Amino acid sequence: MSSELFEPTVLDGLARKTEAIQRKRKVGGKELLDMALFDGDQSFNGMSMQLMRRDGLDISKQALHQRHHSNMTKFVQAVFEQLIAVELPQEQTQGLEIRIKDSTRFALPEVIAETFPGTKGSGMKAGASVQFEFEIKSGKSDIKVTPANANDQGESHLDKASIQPGVLYMRDLGYTHLSYMNNINKVKAFFINKLCPKTTIYLLKDDQYQKLELSKLQGITGVFDQQVYIGADKMPVRIIIEPVSEELKARRIANTEKYNKKKGSTTSKGFKERAGFNFIVTNLVSENIALN
């Protein structure tokens, strides 16, 4: 589908569907997308010159200004949704609707710091965060722009009302606190995510909760996959612990020590032990869903 998406007739159809084009004009869907992707740093006069040079179209800067309205954003989003939509075999998704969310941050000119403040300690005085979620099969997406100092954990609290039963949510570590996972459990939805390094893991033996000592994991070569309990409330989850290469472990420790040195802190022994493993938690039961 991705190659067909960039056919002019397909782009024209999306432009009309989103009303970025409302009647027959010189500028079609292909030209609109080219301007959005390649001419975003140009003035309208510059865009006009680019259209003449690239497509042989004589369009005034006033006419281009009129075309840049909210429906242009809808058009670009529709193209993006079509581009990322994938057709996965039923056996790969195991019957689940899967939604993935992440974010990215970037710097903005300092003059707009009052509206888009940056993040403390990063040297970014003004910046924005793009929160992006998409459904892996349909490609349907939700994109939101916030100030850079709005963190992912706060965003996950805002998402509480949108969690739907039966949906599998995959998110980066910044979103996935214990309250987030508990909210998903309550509505009978599913999650797969990394586990916060500071979260305590317990095993249940002889009706007693016993803390999982990471030192006991040293030297394992296979995948540890079983039910455990996490946090003060002993939330039951399935955990998958997988050892990583010594090279990756060393890189993780070096990056963290470099960051901690800037902050004037030291890297804990516990972090160095955890750096040798990937910790994935989920509420999908192993009898029905294979993850390794």
| For range 1-7, the mean pLDDT | 62
Choose the weakest-confidence range: 82-96, 139-153, 206-220, 271-285. Answer: 82-96
For the stretch 43-68, pLDDT in tens is 777 777 777 777 777 677 676 666 65
54 vs 167, more confident: 167
As a 3-state breakdown, the chain gives helix, strand, coil percent values, each rounded to 5, of 40, 25, 35
Q: Is the per-residue pLDDT at 289 higher than 70?
A: no
180 vs 217, more confident: 180
Q: Is the per-residue pLDDT at 42 higher than 80?
A: no
Using an 8 Å Cβ cutoff, are 128 and 104 in contact?
A: no
| For range 99-116, the mean pLDDT | 85
What confidence score (pLDDT) does residue 154 get?
A: 80
Q: Is the per-residue pLDDT at 232 higher than 60?
A: yes
> Per-residue confidence at 94, pLDDT binned at 50, 70, 90?
low
Q: Are strands 190-194 and 167-171 parallel, antiparallel or unpaired?
A: parallel
* Contacts of residue 177, Cβ cutoff 8 Å, sequence gap at least 6: 153, 156, 196
| For range 21-39, the mean pLDDT | 70
What confidence score (pLDDT) does residue 24 get?
A: 62
What confidence score (pLDDT) does residue 279 get?
A: 92
For the stretch 244-288, pLDDT in tens is 999 999 999 999 998 888 778 888 888 888 888 999 999 998 655
Alpha helices in the chain (DSSP H): 2-5, 8-17, 29-38, 44-55, 61-67, 70-84, 90-93, 152-158, 178-186, 246-263, 269-274
Q: Is the per-residue pLDDT at 1 higher than 50?
A: no
Classify burial at 237, counting beta carbons within 10 Å of its beta carbon; exposed 0-12, middle 13-18, buried 19 or more: buried
- At residue 88, φ and ψ (nearest 5 deg) are -100, 140
